[in-house]
Structure 1
Amino acid sequence: MVIARPINLSVYNSVCVCVRGAITLTLSVCEWMYLFYTSDDFERHKSISFLFLFSIDKIRKSLRVWGKFVKVSPVTVIQMAYYTVPNKYGSQIPLQTEVRDKLSSLDVVWGNMFEGEDIDPQLVLEKETEFYRGAPPQWLNFYCAEKNHTPFVKRDIYTKITKLIQKKREINHSISSINLFHQPGSGGTTLAMQVLWDLRKKLRCAQVIDSTSDSKAIAQQVIHLFNARNSQNQNTVLLFVDNKETEENDGMQFNSLRENLIQNIKQSNISANAPVVIILNCLRKKNRTGKEKLMLCTMLSKEEQDNFNAKHTEVSQRHDRHKEFHGFNIMQGNFSQTYITEACEYLKPLKTKKRPRNAQILSFLALMNSYAPGSYLTETWCLEFLDKKNHISGRPTLEKQMGTFADLLVIYSTCSGGAKSQDRCIRMAHPMIADKCLWLLTDAGVTLSDTAINLLSHLCPQTVQPYLVKIIKQLLKKREKHLPKDEREEKLQKFSNLIQDIKEKENKSMCVGLFRHAAKTFPRDPFIPQALARFYYIELRDYEKAALWAKTAILREPNNSFIRDTLGQVYKNQLKSQNLPKLSKNILQIGTQAFKAFEEEAETAEKELEPGMQEDGVTNISTVFNYRGHFGYIQVANTIFYKLKNVKKEWSKVLRQETKSHSLIHSEKCGKYQSLLASLKQRIEEKLSFFETFLKYSKPKIDKSEPEYIWTDIVDCYEKFITKEQHFCRSFAGLLSTLSHITSVSDLEQITEQWREIHMNSQTESDAQNYILANIILSQKSANSEILRTVPELQDILQKLWERQNKNGSPEFYLLVLLLFWPDGVKKTGNTLDLKECVQYMRKSYERIYQKYLRFRYLVPLFFLGNGGGLQRLVHQTEFTSLLAEEHETAESEGLQRIEGEIRNHKVFALRGKDQIEVSPHNPASVYNTDLVSFYIGFTIRGPVAYNIRYVKKSAQFVDKHKRNIIQRAEKVDFIIDDLRPLIGTELNHHSSFNKQ
């Protein structure tokens, strides 16, 4: 009989009863006593745990009235009548049931958590023992440690984190984040929970229960927690996100959460002077690269060692079995391998044949916790595995059945969101113990592949919990990042750590056997046959079998372009193989297969939609656009060119279409590939044009560019098929790229003159745009060049184009309009265009042409607005890259013009005289309040962007606001200006000089 949480806390003397997990009732005291007095469960359970709103004494008295006394055990947990959270002033405010019910994705650390509750001392001892043995901490652990004045040992990094949180609270951003990297077993999760517990009375602290769950739901609940009670009581949420299953956060899940938080802040119209949420993002990382700002390692400082020694003395005095506290003892011993060896010594010798089932469970857990730290098996699954014949009620406990192995394990229950888990978990006491056990097993002859296949053999995907299935798949296919020797950037490993170790410690055939077994166990999963295909072509050079398994993966998920990429990679590597016969027809045969595979991948990528756009339930969703099909095509073209040229030099002219000689094609018996050869150059030009815009306008992240080999292969393809210099100057994006690789003024002048001639003899918009851009680029290198056109001359060209295509132009056209017509705050007498409309048209044009390809990528600012005049006020982005990083948002730049602006309804407007032009914030989290601001202006292919947004001090706002209103009215009627000048005097002159800058 389990007494559960009340349905309605407002119903006094009512309690929600859950009988065997099936029936939920709300009962009064009398009804509750009658149920227990007459039920069979009453006789069987002489000790009952209660969860209720009224006192235990009242229950005892009522039971005596009914004529029967029940021995009531000390209460496990008593439901609080209300929970509290702090407001921004530090006062605790209560929350009603309906508010708490909306926070199902969050485990909130309430301000009054456990306070005033009658907690069973035995439960406290049990939870403390579990934790010291190696179980994850529970909030009850922190409460009891604080109450009993026996606090947790704080690692040195604790102070850094708390100071950083305080610093983030002072920054004018609605959303901030802190990345905490931690090595497995170093106590990273405990540290993060300690921070939340200690700040629960200052901030609204919560942990995301499942970091892989819907980020939209999480974001809504975070905003709900921030707004809880009313707008006057808003307070910052400190959100702990524990990425248990990833070593490195590639940003997709985190960026999705951030985007959804920003959207919810806008929708809720939140205007606050403090951050809405600070995200404490915990990431497991096995090896340190030196780039991590905060990383908790498996090594103690001198001060930490002293603190752990003192704690060890305290723990040993209170617990008789403290020698079994491996989780604590390993840390106290500074992660000593000697301790690990001694703790696992009694496992020797291990049986290799006819191993008992408890030994098999030990091997399963050792494998899982070594390669996926933090993973676990459930008690129910283990009991079923140990003894499938006996009914669960007649079985010995799991601890007894595990025998001596239980000393190295920890069995625990979890509590999330205040609810106790229905099934207990079991795992190794520490990842280092898991590593040692695995080593002892392999040393005794129980190989990694044996253990993995044995585990797979006892899995039934239809009945096993999805969590366990996900962990098993992670062991087989998750490729982690590592830093190769003598390299700066981290790279993905070719295979998972488990597969890498089996390959090195056993043999490659065992890897194949494991993959094949897994592919059979999970018949619908496409990623396992994909991984097997990769293993065949990378490690075994068996391209036929690799292609077979790659096609199997495609059959399982045909609408996934990333799955299709593997087949193209198989053929591409076969083409590069030295074993391929050096005959033209063989080269073109495999090349054709590779081209086809990559083209099909590219076509599939075109159909994939970004999250939130799916309508039919069939179309595949992809956060980013998969460009690997286009790039693979270019790589195959490079290889074909190289290989055919080595067969006969004449092939290079055929591929460049410099000759239409069919004799070579037929003499090499390649007639069936004639259509491919005829269209190859055109297809390559299309691919190269795609990459010109793709790589010039965007990059993966603000602080991350594409791998170096991508640009190398693209340039190589230019040189083979087209001639790099000629093509780079034939497109808008190509012209922009000339600033990076052409430094000669004479070369730039020649390019500008060429485009002038083309423009004079052409009526196309693109040629006119390229001519204007050529002038802008030349002005960056030579402001006094004689061939430069003036701004009014270039504006005239754009004015004519605007009249023809103002609503249907390309993003490049609108970019030029913004660059040349951006107001300087002075009243215009010449060419003028409606820049408000221009910004709107540009965004729509971007969505129509580039949104699909550049989604979730960082848009690079192409130019900034400087302090100069004419074309010299446009500054190329390479001069100010330091302005782009979030931590440099307070940076100053003498070369850039700071613009007055205003924030209204979470939108940013640039104020230039009477013009109010909407611009996008570079960091949307910096837009949190309706106020006057200033910022730098940059221009991306999507439109104008505000960088380094700063809020104007309150003392200046009143003057600025009314001064601006007066000036705007004055500009409408010229004669009023003369009348107003004596009244506003120097203020007006000061404002005018500011706008002229």
Structure 2
Amino acid sequence: MHVSFVLTQEEFTCETLTETIKTDITENKDKEYERKIESTANELHRKYVGQKDPVLLLLNHEEDKPQRYFIKSLLSKLEHTDQTDHPAFIIINAVSKSTVRGPGDVKLKMELLPEEKERFAQKMQEIKKKYKKMSQKFHAFNIMQGGFQKEDAEKLITEEMVNHIEKDTKSSSTRLLSFLALINSYVPGLHLLKLFCEDFIKEEEWSTDEGKPSLEIIMKPFKDLRLIFSEGEQKANCIRLAHPLIADACLKMLTEHKLTRYDIAHDFLNSMVKGKESNYEKICKSMLVTRPKGLIEKEKFSRLILDINRENKPNQCIYLLRIASKLFATDTFYPQALARLYYIKIQGENPKNSHIRDTLGQVHKNHLSRIWTQRKWRNEPCTDIKTCLDIAKDAIDAFQAEEKAAKDELANPNTTFNNRALFGFLQVCKDIFKQNDRDFISGLREDVEQKYDFFEWYLAYSKLSFKEEEPDYFLFWRTASFLKIRHQCVLSGESYETTEKLQARLQKLWATEAQGRSPEFYLLVLLLFWTKEAQKAKANPPNLENCVQYLIESYKSKYGKYLCGRCLVPLFFFGKEGGLQRLVHALKPHNKGLRLVHSKLLQTDLELLTEGDESVEVECLQRIKGKVKNHRVFAVRDGQQIPVTPHNPSSVCKPDQVSFYLGFTIRGPVAPGGHVILFFVFIDCFV
């Protein structure tokens, strides 16, 4: 009341109707109701005509029946108002608090309440009295009164119907029944237009010369199950089955006679939909694409596709969606469902294949990325944070499952590690960090650090192949890693400690525990104790033969399975200068990222060396003397024979004295093999 009073002061014309419409006349009570209701409606309508402001009507009745009649009468008058540009007429129908359910969960069941059963029983008596034997054919009403029992619907399938279907499953009547059963079973409430059904019949060939029979004659065996009704201005223009449970019963009967859901759907698409796609958009989309709600989230496919798939017929689902995708070529939902089906099918065939699992994570990641990009283009802040976090969580879960599969694949010694899960994880986290959601981010911090550390050594120690560059999105890791090495180890002139102090510390650690350390420890020992000066300056220096052996073992344990199939890159070359300047690093900045070339190494020299040109000389590098023995290359150092990995093992064929440029990868010393004068090749391939 107070609200209507306030609105009256504003820009509304408000009316309130609270008095109950009553009559004391016992005879012709219904007519008296109608007269009073009509009078009240006319009075309100007269006030409405000519109004410029919107009209607000508040109804507050205790009795429901007269109120419903009044609203119906008033709406009828409003619809036929001749006034142009008429204002809005708003009706607020107040409901008594006693009729509103209290808070709490309400379970919906396919059964009637006691009061509903009583009302149905009363109505049934009226129907029997009025329609007598015909009341038995009120199938939908009878099914509802019986409590929606599927047995009641199945009893309506007569022996005559079964015999008709057994006689000819390809007859027009059987096919039309199958179409209606499929549609009304999976999309209750939808119908076929009678005109389209008649067109379907006309396309059939008939042996009689009396003309083609009507739809009613064709469907006569099933006339008790179908309804022909009106929709809109046209009369008797729609056809469907009387109740969804009847559709279920018919579909069950058809499948028992070897007419599967796939057969029916396939026939429907090819015989009725093809060429008339615009008339069947809603039906086909509801049957083939629309996904029902599950307990937690939507199912992956429509109910029809799910049921066919449960029969272990995924190929049939694929074929149906392929046909539908061609028929409705502009609707992207069909190929989307088809792609999802392909993905699940191939994932089922290869459940442990990490590359297949990568698809799902990439889809979620790209979905999230599109949201950020669109917001950026529009210069709008992201308001739906929860949706973005949900997508990110789905992507992270998918990438973590892929990562586990990728690590499981490493049980095969010849497998190349699939790193896309780790990188995809980091890409998603990079986008999420922009939202500054502390709770979400805090749970990811440890995983982010681990994966970042992985790529730091993964890209520092190896590359995809000698002739191919890493993808562009890897460049920032390689740049960050090698600029750190370049700054700390080389460009500072001298390191944080003198060479002698570093050697002393390493020698002490070596004496304490030589085995079981990281590859980086052994690599540093090799770098600092390789020269003759270092060997002579220290008493009991580390044995370099043993050091290389320990390095290889440590490498295999820590990095080998992850770097299998990749090419190891040299981190340093052995040069001519003294101190730490003898270690010539292999990288320098480039406008397209870091390249395998030192500032003292010309790019052309590097290319010639890697191509195996034996005529090139590199001024800043020092040759190492060695020999070939038992198809292996050794560097000779004060009586020690230190194994060196040749770039091309097939060229190491006969014992000989050799010299070569020396490089150091994370696996150990590397050198080419084969001739008296040999040149270092930078990549130790496919270890």
Class of the TM-score when normalised by the shorter of the 2 chains: 0.3 to 0.5
TM-score (norm: length of structure 1): 0.33
TM-score (norm: length of structure 2): 0.46
